[in-house]
Amino acid sequence: MRIAEMTFVEYEARLRETDPVVVIPAGALEQHGPHLPLATDAIIPTRLAEMAAPRINGLIAPAFTYGVRSQPKSGGGEHFCGTTSLWGSTYALMLSDVVQAFGRHGVKKLVILDGHSENQHFLVEGIERALIELRRDGITDMRVIRLGYWTTISQSVQDVLFPTGPVNWDLEHAAVMETSVMMHLEPGLVRLDKIPDEPMAVFPPYETFPLDPRPIPSCGALSSARAATAEKGRVVVDSLLDDFATIIPSAFA
């Protein structure tokens, strides 16, 4: 189900015979606190895509492992050593080229499964540009959806994740949700002894340029990850897989 590992003959046959859903995980190489690996935003959607694949007739394309520039309020910002990003304009071009290529192969169902919120608007720009190009070459039957994997987490799962009440999703960077999911999916990559417990970052309602590092926790996590557990991660993942099994086919119906 990994396109990377298929031969072109197998891929082409699969495409022609079963009209699969191609999923591109869109990640980042971005600091995720002292306890999570830099590629967390790529690992989670990649693993989710692979697990979801059998239920959605999915093929998994190679992930975008470098993401759009990190912002202080959602990822801590570009000044963290290790955060390795693309300008949004570069990212949109890259995405557009790749979407066009899949369209020319004959892919009709394409999911961009986003794991890094800063990618979102540049993914949209890239997809829109790609579809204009494809349409001019007579390819009008590809549908693309962009899905931030965390956006489908249901209220009941949120109640499990955050029993003390609603959460600010933007500040869930390297915090309970991501940590729990990684503890479940990739326990070997989580430094349990480094899980940070600093208070939630408090930002002004505006953004400051040049970046003002003062409101950004030096540990990199924007909220405490202390309450993370592998079990919470399992609940999230199971629930997401169920959601994807419903949502994705319906998006292409």
**Stretch touching a second copy by CB under 8 A, among 47-55, 95-103, 155-163, 230-238:** 95-103
Please confirm, yes or no, whether 105 is among the known catalytic residues.
no
* Sign, Cα dihedral of 143, 158, 55, 10: positive
Catalytic residue, candidates 35, 41, 184, 243: 41
Contacts of residue 96, defined as CB under 8 A and 6 or more positions apart, other chains included, come to 126, 127, 129, 130, 133
Among 19, 54, 101, 156, binds a second copy (CB under 8 A): 101
- Calpha distance 118→240 (Å, rounded): 21
> Is the Cβ of residue 165 or residue 204 nearer to a second copy in the bound state?
204
Please confirm, yes or no, whether 41 is among the known catalytic residues.
yes
Q: What residue type is assigned to position 164 of the chain?
A: T
Does position 82 interact with a second copy (CB under 8 A)? The reply is yes
> Is the Cβ of residue 84 or residue 223 nearer to a second copy in the bound state?
84
> Is the Cβ of residue 80 or residue 176 nearer to a second copy in the bound state?
80
- Calpha distance 11→9 (Å, rounded): 5
Does position 29 interact with a second copy (CB under 8 A)? The reply is yes
Does position 214 interact with a second copy (CB under 8 A)? The reply is no
Does position 227 interact with a second copy (CB under 8 A)? The reply is no
Contact 196, 221 (CB under 8 A): yes
Does position 162 interact with a second copy (CB under 8 A)? The reply is no
Minimum separation from the CB atom of position 54 to a second copy (A): 19
Does position 17 interact with a second copy (CB under 8 A)? The reply is no
> Is the Cβ of residue 212 or residue 231 nearer to a second copy in the bound state?
212
Contact 118, 66 (CB under 8 A): no
- Calpha distance 82→219 (Å, rounded): 13
Burial degree of 11 (CB within 10 A; 0-12, 13-18, 19+): middle
Q: Which residues are known to be catalytic?
A: 30, 32, 41, 116, 118, 173, 178
